[in-house]
Amino acid sequence: MPNPKLTPRQYLILGLVAVCAPLGDTCLSRGMTHVPAISFSHPGALIEAVFTPWIAGGIALLIGFFASYLTALSWADLTFVLPATAFGNVIVAFLARFWLHEPISVERWIGIALITLGVGFVAQGPSLTEHAPTEPETEQVEVQ
């Protein structure tokens, strides 16, 4: 039976889910702003864009996110994984504030506090619902 207490490796996988998705989106966003406007008459430009460093990096990070997400869902509940990994939004906000020096409004600070509180709530509980084992079917022995 799976252990509802998480191991350090499982915390690492949840961390990867939280970090890879927002970083991947950021890389894609940054890469697409440096690519000339893509029109339907030149769809080849979209293929070329995939091989630029920022977009290739973004795609690699999103593949990493999906692999980690599937791994997390194999040993934890969906209602545990989704709030726990929402912490990625907080990481992006802190990167925006302290790396890109973007201003953060009071509303956003309240949002950060609420997400942190929500993640704290869910992280204290069990990661997996333990369903009661089904009763083994009794073998029918034919009496001759």
Partner 1 sequence: MSVVVHNPSFWFATALIAPVILCSTTGEVLTAAAMKSIGDLDEIRAHSGMKGAIRAVVTCPLFFAGVGFLALAFFALLLALNYLPLSLVAPSSASLTLVTNAIAGKIFLKENVDRRRWAAAVFVCVGVYLLAH
Directed axis angle between helix 78-85 and helix 53-75, to 10°?
140
139 near 10, Cβ under 8 Å?
no
If one asks whether residue 32 binds partner 1 (CB under 8 A), the answer comes out as no
If one asks whether residue 80 binds partner 1 (CB under 8 A), the answer comes out as yes
For residues 100 to 129, the per-residue mask of contacts with partner 1, x marking binding by CB under 8 A and - elsewhere, is -------xx-xxxxxxxxxx-xx-xxx--x
How near is the Cβ of 125 to partner 1 at its closest, in Å? Answer: 5
How near is the Cβ of 41 to partner 1 at its closest, in Å? Answer: 15
17 near 69, Cβ under 8 Å?
yes
Residues touching partner 1, count (CB under 8 A)? 38
Residue 2 or 53 having the CB closest to partner 1: 2
If one asks whether residue 82 binds partner 1 (CB under 8 A), the answer comes out as yes
Angle in degrees, CA 71, 8, 10, rounded to 5: 10
DSSP secondary structure letter of residue 51: T
CA quadruple 60, 33, 30, 73: dihedral, nearest 10: -50
Interface residues with partner 1 (CB under 8 A) are: 2, 9-10, 70-71, 73-75, 77-83, 86, 89-90, 93, 107-108, 110-119, 121-122, 124-126, 129, 131
